[in-house]
Structure 1
Amino acid sequence: MAQGEDVAVELEEIIVTGARADRPVSSTPSSVKIVERQEIEAQTRTTSNPAEVLSRLVPGFSMSNQTISGASETYRGRDLLVMLDGVPLNTPLRDVSRILALIDLNTVERIEFVSGASSLYGSGATGGTVNFITKRGSEGRPQVRINTALRTFTADPAEGLRPEASVSVSGRKDQTDYVFVGSGRLADRTFDGAGRELPSDGMLGQGGADRFENANMFGKVGHDFDAGKRFEVSANWIYLDQEPDWLTSYTQPFARPDFTRPYTGKSVLEDSKQFAARYTDEGFALGDLKVVAFYNDVQKRFNYSEFDPFYNSLVYYSGNPLAPTSPFNQSELSNKRGGVNLTVDSSLDRVFDGLRLTWGADVIRETTAQVTTGGDDTFNPMEQMTYAAFAQLEAPLTDRFTVRGGMRYEYFDLTVEDSVRPAAYAELSGFDIVLPELFVGGGEFDYSAPTFNIGGTFDLVENTQLFGGFSQGYALPDIGSFTRRAGAMGFADVLRYGCIAGISPGGLNCTPTSSATSFAAIAPEAQIVNSYELGVRGSHGRLRGSLVGFVSTSEEGVTFDPATNSISQQKEEIWGAELTVEMDVTDKLRLGTFLAYREGRYDSNKDGEIDTWLPNNRIATPFRALVYGDYRFDNDVTLRLEGEGWSGRERQVRTSTYPLEGAFLVNAALSAPVAGGTFSAGVQNLFDIDYMNPTASSVRENPALGTLEVHGFGRTVSVGYAKTF
């Protein structure tokens, strides 16, 4: 059989879990990207950051901001639900986004990316869903795998070292399989393409990519019983500690370390644990049964930062207007989330040949709180219970046409505790402002809504499908972010809750009009995102690819304006298209490309009319492209070349324009069998281009000064060696 024919058959056999039940890609009415282990290993020759890997392999994903944070990293301009073996890792009540970059790719066997809004796994998937599926031990004697890498920046190889090491043990004895992985990373300084040291906190409070220690521990044990029954437990621990040496200067033209101001805060910390237990039964009376119980214990600490009238114009107040930053202007998040997911995949062949009903229910409890390092609440502590039920029906109406549709009903029961927002100091339009402590009353609240989806696939010819559909995602926006900014969003708030020097009677010592508000007065609306998608995918001989167009809309979209430190909800729409093409030119040479476009607008004054472009922190690069080639020599040495490019953006958002620049980078990597293992080497940004990282830069914008540039990585080189014993 020819190689191209092998690939075509493989496409039909690829299984995804995007509908909470195993289904072939060919019957999935949305675009899907599967990243297999071989592709993951090819990318880790130049980077170990999963966000960078996805940005090169998934057309709709934004450029990585190249830090430990996920700030402004979006999928098709919207939020991405991140899962590990089907367990959500997001913290929806306070979405701080530090997830993707800390996942250990040494534990991952494959990555499934399903596009479009969805509620099937709960809140958060307004743009798409990514599921990192971990490895499983295989039959035979225990295997020990050692994977090492040493990375550095050519601008200063001695000061830019980034060593990595991972050890895994896996195997299967009788009916029990296991895998244990321990990994560690260290990072020193980082440099841009001009050889300048990059800051430890270029995006203000998010954390950087330098001066950290990172450890990941993962374990999974499963036991297969008779008749298709399996029980499995897993645990994952992520620990990171970043200790910056210097504060960051946010003055134009670019963010950089301020070598005159030593960092005085606590370290940036991640100490998060995930536990899960899964039971599957293929012989269950009502169909294939899957029960997942999980518990996530997330602890995060963010950077300390100081007052800057242009780029950090709101800080917790020290009481001294000459040095307004509180020594506790640093916060720590605690999020605990646990629940049970039940899924049953029932065959209804007695009703109609091939008819299947996937149905189930979820119960999730979540508590979250965020405090300053001095112990004061930065927002109202919250507890939420989520109850949901769903049903998905799949019907092969003909041999070539399959329809899938269903609904989910979700109910959020939210308890918000009373809280006192600490005193804050701000500068707004040239005025010095004090915002005294503000009481924010809590209460009991509930949100509920049904969401629907329907779509279909049609086999145009063998191994080629036309697909399309409509789907909805339901989510509560980042509630903690709303209450954290209580009384501090724009002049209207300031005039009521604060004191403006030179205007308010008594200046900075005035008594505000009001010293209390309530969650009910500032609570965000739940949002429903509608996704529409139409595309074609398939393979023919040695050629395979896809073309898809999409539109997503929301009546209660969420936009953050960094210039005014405000969050608003309004009508919005996003549209775009994506093309992927890959071809095995010969048995040794593979060439491929993707082209992606996305853009969006929203209703800036809430009059019901779409009137301005979405800000850059939603869409920073309308056009993105990747071209690549892989060549395997007769001695099993492989070489990969990549060119990744993106456009700039210069759209007027309300009355201001914040230009972002495009760039084109070249990456190269090779691997070779050496001494029973694999030696690898890679170069990222081969020509050492000095460029603006568009995703990171989009976070820091000012109407008077424009975009503050956060530069991207300069040339990095990597060498590694992996061996299985």
Structure 2
Amino acid sequence: MGQKRVLRASTALTAMLCAETAMAQDNVTEEDLLTLEPITISAYRSNADASTIPGTVQVITSTDIEQRILQGEFLEQILSDFVPGLSVSNGTVSGASQTLRGRNIQILINGVARTSELRGFDRELALFDVNSVERVEIVKGSNAQYGNGATGGTINIVTKRAGDVTQSTVFTRLSAQGESVSDTLGWEVFASHDRRVENFGLRLELSAESIGDRYDGAGRQLPSDPLVGQGGGDNSDIYSLGLAADYEEGSHRFDLRFDANRFKQTPDFFTNYLTDPVSVDPTQPYTGQPVEDETKALTLRYLNSDLAIGELEVQGYYTDNKRTAAFVPAGIANPLYYPTSPTNPRQNPEAQTRLDTTTYGVRTTVRSDLSQLAAGAKLTWGVDVGKDDVSQALLDGTEVIAPMGQRSVAAFAQLDLPIGEKFDFSGGVRYERFDLSVKNYMRPDVVQLRPTGLLPLPAVNVTGGDFDYDATVFNFGGVYHLTQSTEIFAGFSQGFSLPDVGAFTRRAMAPSPTLPGQTVSFAAIGPEAQIVDTYEIGARHTSGAFRIEASAFFATSDEGTVFNSATNAITQQKEETWGGEIIVDYQVNTAFNLGLSASFTEGRFDSDNDGKVDSWLPNNRIGAPVKATLYGDYVFDNGLRLAGEVVYTGSRDNKGYTVVQDTTTVNARVAKQIGLGEFSFAVDNLFDADQLNPTASSVRTNPLTRQDIPVAAEGRRFWAGYSVTF
């Protein structure tokens, strides 16, 4: 089972998105397609061959990503278009309500989370420089390979390292919309330099990006803050620095990665959340501080491939995030606001929050050869330790969550065991313990907007303390290779997460919420750790230029988390999610590639805590149950590449919730080698469709009408770029 395997559709979208197909570019034969080297998935700690994994995995390669960069998309847009089961991008710098199979996503960069699970603004996918990405690995379903947070799946972003030759790349592009070219103008400049001297490699990356106003398909300007404090991305600047270094000597290898990112958005006006869809309010100039994000991250890795116990990998990491939300006036989008004083219900003009998170730790992984047990057998085991520190306060220093710190320690083991020539078994266990320290704090005075008027809620003393959580989770499954080109798989996996602890302290309510001077303990309001069980079956087939994968899943948990934005309450209860996914890819000939990816996701929860699921999950968990992308690309004899896709999201009409409308978006792009580089031209939303964004429109609910607050999708945008490597 250690020999070369057939490349599976599930392991990579290698033909997807790419206008210059592998066969056209390299004259790859059908026989070559069947003898490609196995693709290992680093999102699995064992670095497993993807064809032996009893579940759905995908890899989006650098070639795929580079083609989408030409179209001007952020990373979360690339993933939402082409990853079945992943909610469509909400069109902002936030990942709010973007779920995978209806549940939370664990976002990793080189195996490290950039923010704390205790409290986060979910900006990683939108703000990380996509030009730095080598590939993206997606592991579907609950899993605990990297610990806390992957109840719906894991997205691991693997960054580029220095190439084998000294070279530089410069890429620049412009974008605009037809409504007002000068106002909507956007630009980006990216430069990288790779240098390798014997065993030492160095890669430096610099980028700057700016964008102006944005408009929807009806010609209406999109507001700067459509999702309530999250930041829409218009009128913003992003600056990024990346440094990668590596050194290899014999069996020893060292890798270093440092990233620094700065985002700043300066809105011109506040948002009118009473219109359909939400709109810019030109009568209300924005009075808050800019929306900002400052991130620094350092990762060090040591690898020794020749120890008696096997291959040793030690990774240390440190991240620091400072994230400022937008100022949001009190109203239907901000029904729970901070007043000027206990006696003055007017909103505090500095009621704008900044979140500070710091994480650091060490991961140790050992991959031990067990070939004496069976050819190709391997045991992966290790220990992880980590520390998170989190605080969030208003700009005047008033704390809005209890400052907290969390230590974690985990031990894990994963067995990969080929059985005969046809079957691959894998199974593992992970135990993790969390020690959470919550400081005493006073939840500030707040005022709640209700249908009957304003309700003052006096400050509450929240008593902290030291708490511990632990979880033991398992996974097991197998892959049966029917033929060299066809395999079936089935698996069971568990993942766990400690829900947004900071949100529970920010919404702390006393037994008699209108009486001042009360005290509530964190022990009474704190969340329970959630364990999610996922069951999955599927099949994969590759036959020459044709690839297909289909899978079905069912996931259940007893402590699922539901956020009701109308009441500003978070509850935990039993819930179930289920669905199916399919990817089909066909290389029609050496010039033409065609494919389809599609998924269905739905779910229910126990709304009355009687132990039975009885209500549909809200739209902020599952906005569009059906998502499908039809894509194609064609390479002409003169080298001109034409590519595009049609992205469809289905409607959702479940009792008790706003009807989610279906959407259809067509994107197109052309590219051609001109001179020393490549010129590209692309159009997002080719037909300027006037439609709502299903994910963005389900983030918030009007507390007066109980209806979702609708947010429009961006209209047609043109992109032109040029890239040269020398």
- TM-score in same-fold range (> 0.5): yes
Shift in Å, 1:321: 7.9
Q: How far off is 1:95 after superposition?
A: 2.8
Instruction: Give the CA deviation at 1:546.
Output: 0.5
User: How big is each residue's C-alpha offset from its partner over 1:435-486, in whole Å with a ceiling of 9 and x where there is no partner?
Assistant: 1121111000000121000011111111322112011111110000111101
Aligned residues of 2:69 and 2:131 also touching (Cα < 8 A): no
Unmatched 5+ stretches in structure 1:
488-492, 499-510
Alignment of 1:333-344 (within 5 A): 333-344=355-366
Q: Is 1:94 paired with 2:109?
A: no
1:715 is the counterpart of 2:704: no
Deviation at 1:322, TM superposition (A): 7.9
1:150-299 map, 5 Å? 150-226=174-250, 228-299=251-322
Is the Cα–Cα contact under 8 Å of residues 67 and 101 in structure 1 kept in the other structure? Answer: yes
Q: 2: distance between equivalents of 1:441 and 1:321? A: 25
Deviation at 1:700, TM superposition (A): 2.0
**1:452 equivalenced with 2:474 (yes/no):** yes
**Residue of structure 2 in register with 1:470 after alignment:** 492
2:407 and 2:550 mapped to 1: Cα distance?
Answer: 40
Amino acid at match of 1:186: S
Correspondence 1:129 to 2:130 = no
Residue 428 (structure 1) aligns with: 450
Whether the aligned pair in 2 keeps the contact of 1:155 and 1:715 (CA below 8 Å) is no
**Aligned counterpart, 2:163:** 138
Give the aligned residue type for 1:724: T
Identity %, equivalent residues: 38
Instruction: Tell me, in whole angstroms, the C-alpha distance in 1 between the residues paired with 2:639 and 2:345.
Output: 62
Native 8 Å contact 2:115 2:357 kept in 1: no
TM-aligned CA deviation for residue 161 of structure 1: 0.9
**Corresponding residue for residue 681 of structure 2:** 681
Partner of 1:577: 580
* 1:282 match: secondary structure: strand
Q: Distance in 1 between matches of 2:614 and 2:723?
A: 54
Q: Displacement of 1:96 after TM fit?
A: 2.1
| Distance (Å, rounded) in 2 between the aligned partners of 1:35 and 1:624 | 18
Q: Distance in 1 between matches of 2:289 and 2:456?
A: 25
Answering whether residue 124 of structure 2 is matched by residue 108 of structure 1, we say no
Alignment correspondent of 1:317: 339
Moved more, 346-355 or 317-326: 317-326
- Cα distance in 2 for residues equivalent to 1:152 and 1:463: 46
Alignment of 1:337-356 (within 5 A): 337-356=359-378
The aligned amino acid for 1:430 is: T
2:68–2:78 CA contact under 8 A, matched in 1 = yes
1:496 alignment counterpart = 512
CA distance in 1 between counterparts of 2:298 and 2:561 reads 31
1:669 is aligned to 2:694: no
1:5 corresponding residue in structure 2 = 31
| Alpha-carbon contact 1:401-1:459 (below 8 Å) kept | yes
Q: Report deviation, 1:5.
A: 3.1
For the 8 Å contact 2:342–2:458, the answer to whether it is kept is no
* Greater Cα shift, 657-666 or 370-379: 657-666
Q: Does residue 1:480 correspond to 2:497, yes or no?
A: no
Question: 1:537 maps to which residue?
Answer: 540
1:3 counterpart letter in structure 2: T
Q: CA deviation at 1:6?
A: 2.5
Contact 1:324 1:425 (8 Å CA) reproduced: no
**What secondary structure does 1:119 align onto?**
coil
Q: Which amino acid aligns with 2:95?
A: G
Counterpart of 1:29 in structure 2 is 54
Tell me what 1:507 maps to: none
- Deviation at 1:323? 6.1
Please show how residues 502-651 of structure 1 align to structure 2 within 5 Å: 511-512=515-516, 515-651=518-654
Shift of 1:427: 1.6
Q: Is the 8 A contact 1:4 1:543 kept in 2?
A: no
Indicate the residue corresponding to 2:17 in structure 1.
Answer: none
Contact persistence 1:64–1:73 (CA under 8 A) = yes
Check conservation: 1:190, 1:197, Cα contact below 8 A: yes
Query: Which letter does structure 1 place at the counterpart of 2:43?
Result: G
Question: Residues 524-558 of structure 1: CA distance to partner in whole angstroms, max 9, x if unpaired?
Answer: 00000111111111310110120010111110000
Given that 1:152 and 1:717 are in contact with CA atoms closer than 8 Å, whether structure 2 keeps it comes out as yes
Aligned to 1:394: 416
| Structure 2 residue identity aligned to 1:218 | G
* Alignment partner, residue 437 of structure 1: 459
Cα distance in structure 1, aligned partners of 2:292 and 2:518: 33
1:320 Cα deviation from its structure 2 partner: 8.1
CA contact (8 A) 1:3 1:542 kept: no
Rounded Cα–Cα distance in structure 1 between residues aligned with 2:401 and 2:565: 19
Q: Is the 8 A contact 2:345 2:447 kept in 1?
A: no
State the superposition RMSD in angstroms: 1.4
Question: Is residue 64 from structure 1 mapped to residue 80 from structure 2 by the alignment?
Answer: no
3-state secondary structure, aligned to 2:553: strand
Equivalent residue letter for 2:716: R
Cα deviation, 1:266-324, whole Å, max 9, x if unaligned, reads 1101001110100001002200110000001011000101111x332110112388862
1:354 Cα deviation after fit: 2.4
Q: Aligned-pair distance for 1:41?
A: 1.3
1:430 Cα deviation from its structure 2 partner: 1.8
Partner Cα distance (2:702, 2:554) in 1: 30
Secondary structure (helix, strand or coil) at the match of 1:52 reads helix
The normalised TM-score by structure 2 is 0.95
Give per-residue Cα distances to partners, 1:195-238, cap 9 Å, x unaligned.
11000110101111201110111101000011x21011110111
- 1:712 aligned partner, one-letter code: A
Q: Residues 218 and 235 of structure 1 are in contact (CA less than 8 Å); yes or no, is this contact kept in structure 2?
A: yes
Hey, what does 2:7 align to over in structure 1? Answer: none
CA displacement, residues 19-70 of structure 1 (integer Å, 9 cap, x when unaligned): 2122211111111111111111111122331110001111111100011111
SS in 2 for 1:366: strand
Question: Which residue number in structure 2 is paired with residue 502 of structure 1?
Answer: none
Give the unaligned 5+ runs of structure 2: 1-26
CA separation in 2, counterparts of 1:209 and 1:711? Answer: 14
- For 1:132 and 1:422, the matched residues in 2 are separated by 38
Counterparts of 1:320 and 1:375, CA distance in 2: 17
**Structure 2 equivalent of residue 490 of structure 1:** none
Sort the Cα spacing of 1:337 and 1:705 in 2 relative to 1 into closer, same or farther, 3 A.
Answer: closer
Q: CA deviation at 1:353?
A: 2.9
| Residue in 2 that maps onto 1:508 | none
After superposition, the C-alpha distances for 1:566-623 in whole angstroms (9 at most, x for unaligned) are 0000000100001110101010000001111000000011110100000000000011
Contact 1:274 1:296 in 2 (8 A): yes
CA contact (8 A) 1:335 1:366 kept: yes
Between the aligned partners of 1:348 and 1:181, the Cα distance in structure 2 is 41
Secondary structure at the counterpart of residue 90 of structure 2: coil
- Note the alpha carbon deviations across 1:359-379, whole angstroms, 9 max, x for none: 001000110000011101111
The alignment partner of 2:340 has SS state of coil
